[in-house]
Amino acid sequence: MNKKKLEQIKEQYKPIIEEKRAKWQEEHDTPFYTRQTRLVLRNVEIIEPTSVHEYIATDGYFGFAKALTMQPQEIIDIVKESGMRGRGGAGFSTGKKWQFVHDAQSETKYIVCNADEGDPGAFMDRAILENDPYSVLESMTIAGYALGAQKGYIYCRAEYPQAVKNCKAAIIAARKNRLLGDNLFGTNFSFNIELRLGAGAFVCGEETALIASIEGKRGEPRPRPPFPAVSGLYGKPTLINNVETLSAIPMIIFEGAERWNKIGSPNNAGTKVFALAGNITNGGLIEVPMGITIKEIIYEIGGGYAEGSKVKAVQAGGPSGGCIPASMFDLPIDFDSLQSVGSILGSGGLVVMCDKVCMIDVAKFFIKFSVDESCGKCVPCRIGNIKLLNILEKITSGRGEESDLCELEKLSKTIIETSLCGLGQSSPNPVLSTLTHFREEYLDHIHNRRCGAGICRELTTYEINEKCIMCTACIKVCPVDAITGELKKPHYLSKEKCIKCNKCVPICPVDAIVRV
């Protein structure tokens, strides 16, 4: 393959891509799509994922061809000038990370794509790998040339079978078309990529745990420094970027740093892909400029909440993120703004919650996730999160005391300050953010033994109100005969017998059974 061949392929397939793109835009002419700025997702649902020719027709591999005419430092400088910050969660400067690996002295270096996406409700990386795998392959090849590496690994979750299948096919096709392998484009630069599958451990999304897993070891983090840029895979300097970060690099190199830098907000350049989920009318994958407000995403793109209830909060950043109340929805979505309110951007999950959600139950759910996914290597994460969960369960079962809130705050801060890796260091965020923004719910649970949302079973009772049409539907589904009555005669619910299984509530045709 060479640049002349790329131009020939582009000319041949360009009309096909233009027709596909026009058809896609016509079929997706709704605010959900028209309010987006699709750069990373530019090829998603447009090109045939495993067709290298269709990818080339979208300027694919022209970024790599341009990179081969430049000095490695020039490439790194463009990445720096773009202002790209890693989309994997921490938001560290991508250009600086590339520079560290470039400056490390070693004959052997590695490029690793972190596709171990494990946040509940997040599917950004999966969509890119399923629909546009060549953007990641090209980016890793550019990084290999710029940093002096000849080998790359894509570490992908085995739970993503279609992404795995398309990546394998793309790697094979890239090798066949001399876009991977030896002496690429007639130069002395060689680069190859292998696909490695993760077994589903959330902690392997952390850099050092991921490295251990690729090496065939137990997926556990190690202390840093040394950082992977100095001593990573097999003890060699290693660049680790996630899928979304890598996917933007070919466009940045081909079109210049300004293409990315002119979008977004100060110190937060470019776009961000989010998985919009939860109590929202239009959920799905969106790509928006950094700095857009939460309100714009929820109401102008997501369409608000469909069932008449109010949107109460947004959980940003996955299990390590914080809950942001509706009163703060004018907050810009970027790394710095979210951090200022006790949340994080994370990999890009946005879970919308309505006023029927109990925020303590939400915190409990995410802490339970962290307990299940902790590797157990360090005591603060292994024991501390279990203690957090125990306190939250105490509160939601009606046994809470006000002193528990002080204990939650103290324990959360200790876990953050003393945990070994990012999982433990950020796991208390849901607790701290709900304590800050929804403290009245904690106090209601503790002092009034009441869950306003009716979620916590031990604090919830049921009543049959005057709407009842005496149809006996609820009597038929009650497993403990807590409801009595006959057809066309008043029904009664015994609070002593009721086990709060909630089977009667959805079966009532007139919503006569209510939580109190």
| pLDDT value of position 90 | 77
| pLDDT value of position 307 | 65
| pLDDT value of position 308 | 62
Angle value at C-alpha 309, between 303 and 310, nearest 5 degrees = 70
pTM over 0.85: yes
SS3 493: strand
Q: Which residue has the tokens 């306003």?
A: 452
Tokens representing 145?
Answer: 């040339």
CA distance 476 to 468: 15
Give pLDDT tens digits for 225-268: 999 999 999 999 999 999 999 999 999 999 999 999 999 988 99
Alpha-carbon distances of 473 from 411, 454, 481, 505, 509, rounded to whole Å:
47, 22, 12, 10, 8
Residues of the chain scoring pLDDT < 50: none
Q: Which residue has the tokens 């309010």?
A: 35
Determine contact, residues 151/171, Cβ cutoff 8 Å.
Answer: no
Alpha-carbon distances of 484 from 278, 465, 505, rounded to whole Å:
36, 14, 15
| β-pairing verdict for 271-278 and 349-354 | parallel
The answer as to CATH 3.40.1410.10 being correct for domain 3-261 is: no
- Report which of 222, 201, 219 is spatially closest to residue 210, judged by C-alpha positions: 219
Give the domain ranges of the chain.
3-261, 265-354, 359-447, 461-515
Tokens representing 328?
Answer: 């703060």
Determine contact, residues 322/316, Cβ cutoff 8 Å.
Answer: yes
| pLDDT value of position 420 | 93
Determine contact, residues 461/497, Cβ cutoff 8 Å.
Answer: no
Tokens representing 481?
Answer: 């005969």
Tokens representing 27?
Answer: 């079929």
Q: 359-447 architecture in CATH? A: Up-down Bundle (1.20)
| pLDDT value of position 120 | 78
**Torsions phi, psi of 388, nearest 5?**
-60, -45
| pLDDT value of position 37 | 95
Side chain identity, residue 201: A
Tokens representing 353?
Answer: 């919650």
The single-letter DSSP state of residue 309 is P
With b meaning 16 or more CB within 10 Å and e meaning fewer, what string describes 95-106?
bebbbbbbebee
The single-letter DSSP state of residue 310 is P
| pLDDT value of position 349 | 85
- Strand ranges across the sheet with 322-325: 284-289, 271-278, 349-354, 311-316, 322-325
Alpha-carbon distances of 16 from 22, 50, 465, rounded to whole Å:
10, 15, 62
CA distance 349 to 363: 16
CATH placement of domain 265-354: 3.10.20.600
Topology of domain 461-515 in CATH is Alpha-Beta Plaits (3.30.70)
Q: Which residue has the tokens 């096709």?
A: 173
The single-letter DSSP state of residue 242 is E
Give pLDDT tens digits for 474-498: 999 999 999 999 999 999 999 889 9
